[in-house]
Structures are given as C-alpha cells and as structure tokens.
Amino acid sequence: MAWRCSGRTNAELISNLSRNAILSSDRVANAMAKVDRANYVLNNSDAYQDSPQSIGHGATISAPHMHAHALENLLPFLNPGSSVLDVGSGSGYLSAVLHHLVSPSDPHLPKGRIVGIDHIPELVEWSKNNLSNDGLADALDDGSIVMVAGDGREGHPTGPYDAIHVGAASETLPQRLVDQLKAPGRMFIPVGVYSQAVWQVDKDSHGEVTKKELMGVMYVPLTDAVKQKRGY
C-alpha cells in the first residue's frame, strides 16, 4: 500500500499516508503538514511522489512512506525538549519534521534540538538553504536545528540523544551510535548489504540494549563521502 500514497499536493500526500495506515498519529501528520517536501527535492514536479528521489552527490531523499514509518517508530522519544540526531540528513527534510515534533510552537513548552549530519558539505549547505526557504531560518539561528558536515557513523559529540534516525544502510550496527543513545532512547536504522532490514534499537533506563527487526528495505549504503560520490 505504501507506494500508492503519492499525491498532487503535500496535503494529499499526507492524507494518503494516513488513509493507508502508515501515519497513525495526529502529531506526526501535523508535523509533516508543516514541512513542504517541494522545498527539499531537486524536481518539484515529483515532490509529492511516494518514492525515493536523487538529490545529487550519490544521495537520495527517502520515500515519504519510509519517513512516516521512521517518525511513527521514534515518536515515543520525540517530545518537547528532546534531542535528536539525524544521520545522513541530506536535503534537511526529516530534520525539519523532527524539529516541529520536539520544538512545538507553544512558548510554554521547551525547545528540543535537532542535529543533522551529512558527510557531503555541499548537501549540508543546500539543506540550510532549504530549511530557511521553508520558514526555519530562526531555528537555524537559535540552534534548535544544527546542520553539520561529518561522518554520521561516528555520531556527533553534542549527544547523548533521545532518538537517532539513520537514513542509509549500515553494514553492521555502529556501536558509536548505540553509545550516544540516552537511557532510555531509541534508534531507527537500516542494517545490511544485499539483504537489508530496519532495526529498532532500544536502550532502557538501565542501559540495556535490545534490537528488533521491523521490515525489509532497500536503502543506499551508509558509507564514506568518496565512495558515495563515485557511486559506491
């Protein structure tokens, strides 16, 4: 059903994701409604297609249904004031949606912090422009959203994080990312090479880590910048 969720507008795309039970929470649907996907793709005519799309430099923006699955899975850890790491942040789309979940507009609620990390500096600069064009310049200015160039497999030293999203497939589970999860915390990460699956990695309040396979997927590899740019 996921591939039937394409729409002609952002609102229609989100409605179709809800109709097909990929989106199940109002919080996630409302956050996605605040982020116009057309600001984060190269071809605006394909912005609301439920499919992955190239964003240059060997990178892609995931299909909307996969972003929806990730957000719904991480939702218990996406609260006002939460800190989130978005690995392979690419165009900045998911970082924007995450921002609306952890930094709601209500001034009485605490602001969270999104750290988007990508190893392609050109994508990082592009993502900042995309976020600004989507009305999030203030969030970049006040540090609610931070976009950095770096190796996401190593995480980022501003952790630990309540939630970690990984937007490319790692050959094995990166221990550095597990270490940067809060206790409790959750990571959504595709793992594998030829046969890939999304793993839900949970760390409980005592620091115990459990792993659960959620679904089979096909993502681009989580690799270094040189291999990515030359086509893996």
Q: What is the pLDDT of residues 80-114, one digit of tens each?
A: 999 999 999 999 999 999 999 999 988 899 999 99
Q: Which residue type sits at 79? A: N
Q: What is the CA radius of gyration of the chain?
A: 16
Predicted local distance difference test score (pLDDT) of residue 45: 82
Predicted local distance difference test score (pLDDT) of residue 227: 60
Q: Which of 18, 62, 103, 127 is catalytic?
A: 62
* pLDDT level of residue 231 (50, 70, 90 thresholds): low
Distance CA 78, CA 99 (A): 9
Quick one: how far is CA 17 from the chain centroid?
17
Strand order, beta sheet including 161-166: 145-149, 113-118, 83-87, 161-166, 181-191, 196-203, 209-217
Q: What is the mean pLDDT of residues 10-38?
A: 96
Between helix 121-133 and helix 93-102 the angle, nearest 10°, is 50
Distance CA 120, CA 58 (A): 10
The answer to whether residue 192 scores a pLDDT higher than 60 is: yes
The structure tokens listed for 17 are: 């994701």
pLDDT > 70 in the chain, percent: 94
Predicted local distance difference test score (pLDDT) of residue 200: 98
Predicted local distance difference test score (pLDDT) of residue 53: 92
pLDDT by residue (tens digit) across 165-175?
999 889 999 99
In the residue annotation, 83 being an active-site residue is answered as no
Question: Helix or strand or coil: residue 22?
Answer: coil
Which domains can be identified in the chain, with CATH numbers?
Answer: 63-230 (3.40.50.150)
Is 80:109 a contact under the CB 8 Å cutoff? yes
Distance CA 190, CA 188 (A): 7
Predicted local distance difference test score (pLDDT) of residue 1: 45
